[in-house]
Amino acid sequence: MSVKGCTIFGGTQGEWQVLSQKIIAGEGLPLVSHLHVGALEDSAWDHSAWKLRGVISNVRYVEKSERVALVAKQEGLGRPTANYGALLPIKKTQAWWDLTQDERRDIFEDQSKHIEANMKYLPNIARQLYHSRDLGEEFDFLTWFEYRAEDSDMFDEMIQAFRETVEWKYVQREIDFRLLKK
Amino acid sequence: MSVKGCTIFGGTQGEWQVLSQKIIAGEGLPLVSHLHVGALEDSAWDHSAWKLRGVISNVRYVEKSERVALVAKQEGLGRPTANYGALLPIKKTQAWWDLTQDERRDIFEDQSKHIEANMKYLPNIARQLYHSRDLGEEFDFLTWFEYRAEDSDMFDEMIQAFRETVEWKYVQREIDFRLLKK
């Protein structure tokens, strides 16, 4: 059956050059010089040092009025001028996953303003979320971003703000990859 | 990485005898006489006619007050006297998955009383939900139930009520297996 998603391969080859790879929380991954973003069942790159898989699933927290606003403002991946990228694989604590839907939504938006805060960086920062947890992967999410060189400071600001939220207190593992498309 | 879940194998062997296998909506599956419920990555049963995989994920709609009530009232799988079972693999329409979280919750509980309606069948009807959609499986969920012989009519009533809800209008494929544990 077909499911949309990706496998991100870390190694010595790939269309994205790794400019930096930094541990934010928890355990790291072996340092690599390049990433390749392939299809979910891509095995041609299995010689890579490591791979991370994720699927594009249904939205988990966004409400209707928010989605209308997001769709109106956001732009897709692959914009020719947006040759800077970032990959932030994230694993949240068991305490997060043990929360009920209303408790997670409360932390996600009411306390952390996840959607509202990120709205102001659209359309400059394009994003895609891949879900990994239910695949048995070592991270829960792969968050992928693309932006222009001149928006690098804006991206830093956005990520810094996220790391100061209540939601981020539930992050137990995060690695920060900054990327340049060749 | 470890993720909790199961693979249900349909074939000529297994601890559950199939009493009936009925198409409720959409395409069926080849008829089988037995089911075996194995671990997620169980390959010892790959000779079976077909298999369905699913994972135990975080709750998607239940709110805190509801979970407190559910946990207080429900009993687990594997009760010795609950040797009747049912498997209902379900696939919902794309229209369902395109809804936002608040729209789905509204249909799930406010319009269809999914949680409230099922509360009254606890603890007699034990249940476990497995998520399959993000694994690329042909069904979105595997819903599994266990009950005593004398609660069979209660189970029929519960399932019939579900099929009359607004939520069920989003079901595009469902098969109804009734089972007896050997």
Q: How far apart are the CA of A92 and the nearest CA of chain B, in angstroms?
A: 12
ipTM of the complex: 0.86
The residue of chain B with its CA nearest to that of A98 is B58
Q: Which residues sit opposite A143 in a β-bridge? A: A88, A129
Nearest-angstrom CA–CA distance, B172 and B91: 6
Nearest residue in A to B54, CA atom: A134
CB contact under 8 A, A136 and B97: no
pLDDT at residue A39 greater than cutoff 60:
yes
Q: CA B141 to CA B128: how far, in whole Å?
A: 10
Partners of residue A135 in chain B, C-beta under 8 Å: 3, 134-135
SS3 assignment, position B46: coil
A94: nearest CA in chain B? B58
Q: Give the type of residue at A130.
A: Y
Nearest by Cα to A42 from A6, A15, A16, A11: A6
Pick among B2, B55, B94, B100 to test the A interface (most A CBs inside 10 A): B100
pLDDT digits (tens, 9 = 90+) for B76-111: 999 999 999 999 999 999 999 999 999 999 999 999
Identify the three-state secondary structure at position B156: helix
Residues on chain B bordering chain A, Cβ-to-Cβ distance under 8 angstroms: 1-3, 40, 55, 57-64, 66-67, 97-103, 105, 131, 133-138
Beta bridge partners of B180: B17, B84
Asked if residue A83 has pLDDT above 60, the reply is: yes
Q: How far apart (Å, rounded) are the C-alpha atoms in residues A154 and B8?
A: 48
Interatomic CA distance for residues A104 and B63, integer angstroms: 10
For A42, the enclosing helix (H) or strand (E) is none
d(CA B43, CA B54): 15
Predicted confidence (pLDDT) per residue in A143-180, tens digit = 999 999 999 999 999 999 999 999 999 999 999 999 99
- Looking at the complex, report in whole angstroms how far the Cα of residue A158 sits from the nearest Cα belonging to chain B: 24
d(CA B164, CA A46): 48
**pTM score of the predicted model:** 0.91
